[in-house]
């Protein structure tokens, strides 16, 4: 783990803040501590499983397979696959980033991974069902049919904008 000095400083400051707050009963500190624990727990529930699946993906899925379905010649089908994959993503966009990153390093093109990230934010199935039950099917359908085409168009545009010489960092995240 690459723990930079700056990171160590931030984490020790934060930990001391929580400890002191707990000790002297400083209410804002206690609320922040509870927020931290709540979100940390929800991430601990998802991240290990998600990363094991990413690990399995890295060793088992051939580069040619990813290139065929998500690469330069995948055409319109690539976008459809990206959206289907996105709808099954759990957690939040923070789970979609490492998946998109692995896809990219296996040969997926930029427009596909941007579509995947955007769609993972917008159409995760459990979340969408929840939305329907609280806001109604009309709301959800309008939202999906407006946002998804815009996601695809903007992903293609962003792909062109950054150009082919742009490289995602390869520090093995």
Partner 1 sequence: MYLIYIITALSLLISIIFDFNKTKQAIQIAFKKLLNILPAFLKMLILVSFILYLVPDQMVVKYLGQNSDLYGLFASLSFGSITMMPGFIAFPLAGILVDKGVSYMNIAGFSTTLMMVGILTYPVEKKYLGRRLTILRNLISLAIAIIVTFVIGLSFGEVF
Q: In whole angstroms, what is the distance from residue 116 CA to residue 101 CA?
A: 11
Closer to partner 1 by Cβ: residue 20 or 52: 52
Closer to partner 1 by Cβ: residue 11 or 64: 11
For 4, the 3-state DSSP assignment is coil
Closer to partner 1 by Cβ: residue 87 or 93: 93
Q: In whole angstroms, what is the distance from residue 98 CA to residue 156 CA?
A: 20
Quick check: 77 and 115 in contact, CB under 8 A? Answer: no
Which residue, among 88, 112, 87, 92, has the nearest Cα to 100 in the 3D structure? Answer: 112
- Report the nearest approach of partner 1 to the CB of residue 135 (Å): 6
Closer to partner 1 by Cβ: residue 36 or 77: 36
Closer to partner 1 by Cβ: residue 1 or 73: 1
**120: its two tokens:** 């993972």
Phi and psi for 164 in degrees, rounded to 5? -80, -15
- Report the nearest approach of partner 1 to the CB of residue 101 (Å): 5
- Report the nearest approach of partner 1 to the CB of residue 87 (Å): 13
- Report the nearest approach of partner 1 to the CB of residue 4 (Å): 8
Quick check: 104 and 168 in contact, CB under 8 A? Answer: yes
- Report the nearest approach of partner 1 to the CB of residue 169 (Å): 6
């Amino acid at each position: 783990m690459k723990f930079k000095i700056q990171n160590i400083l931030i984490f020790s400051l934060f930990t001391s803040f929580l400890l002191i707050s707990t000790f002297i009963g400083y209410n804002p500190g206690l609320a922040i501590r509870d927020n931290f624990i709540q979100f940390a727990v929800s991430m601990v529930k998802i991240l290990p499983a998600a990363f094991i699946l990413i690990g399995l993906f890295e060793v088992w899925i051939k580069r040619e397979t990813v290139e065929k379905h998500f690469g330069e010649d995948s055409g319109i089908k690539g976008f459809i696959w990206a959206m289907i994959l996105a709808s099954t993503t759990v957690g939040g966009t923070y789970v979609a980033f490492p998946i998109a990153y692995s896809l990219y390093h296996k040969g997926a093109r930029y427009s596909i991974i941007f579509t995947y990230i955007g769609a993972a934010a917008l159409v995760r199935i459990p979340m969408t069902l929840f939305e329907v039950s609280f806001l109604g099917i009309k709301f959800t359908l309008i939202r999906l049919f407006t946002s998804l085409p815009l996601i695809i168009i903007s992903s293609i545009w962003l792909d062109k904008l950054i150009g082919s010489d742009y490289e995602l960092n390869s520090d093995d995240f």
